[in-house]
């Protein structure tokens, strides 16, 4: 991973029209990553609860649910932007085809 303390605005040249747009795109991607991580944890938790069977079951330390560790969503989004792995587009407005302020980031 990149050392983000040494990352400057010029590192994002060519990734978006300007630094503000790049920040908005990375923020949107970070939200997407965070939601994916949340969904993964929730799925694992539900599978764990299904295997336990009885909701009144007393947990032993060796049987307790362990939450997986994920990298921070913001760090991942910044790295994807720096590596030019993010594709983004603007949602079209029905009133004339102008670009919306909301960008949809995709990987």
Give domain status of residue 3, yes or no. Answer: no
- What does the pLDDT read at residue 57? 62
When pLDDT is averaged across residues 39-58 and rounded to a whole number, the result is 79
Q: What is the pTM of this model?
A: 0.71
Domain count, the chain: 1
Give domain status of residue 30, yes or no. Answer: yes
Give the pairing type, strands 99-106 and 87-92.
antiparallel
**Three-class secondary structure of residue 45 per DSSP:** helix
Number of helical H runs and strand E runs in the chain? 2, 2
Give domain status of residue 96, yes or no. Answer: yes
- What does the pLDDT read at residue 100? 40
Structural domain of 80: 16-106
- What does the pLDDT read at residue 46? 87
């Amino acid at each position: 991973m990149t050392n983000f303390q040494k990352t400057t605005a010029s590192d994002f040249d060519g990734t978006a029209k300007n630094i503000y747009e790049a920040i908005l795109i990375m923020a949107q991607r970070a939200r997407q990553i965070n939601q994916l991580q949340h969904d993964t944890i929730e799925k694992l938790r539900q599978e764990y609860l299904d295997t336990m069977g009885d909701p009144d079951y007393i947990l032993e330390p060796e049987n307790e649910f362990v939450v997986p560790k994920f990298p921070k969503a913001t760090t991942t989004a910044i790295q994807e932007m720096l590596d030019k792995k993010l594709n983004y587009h603007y949602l079209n407005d029905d009133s004339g085809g102008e670009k919306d302020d909301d960008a949809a980031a995709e990987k």
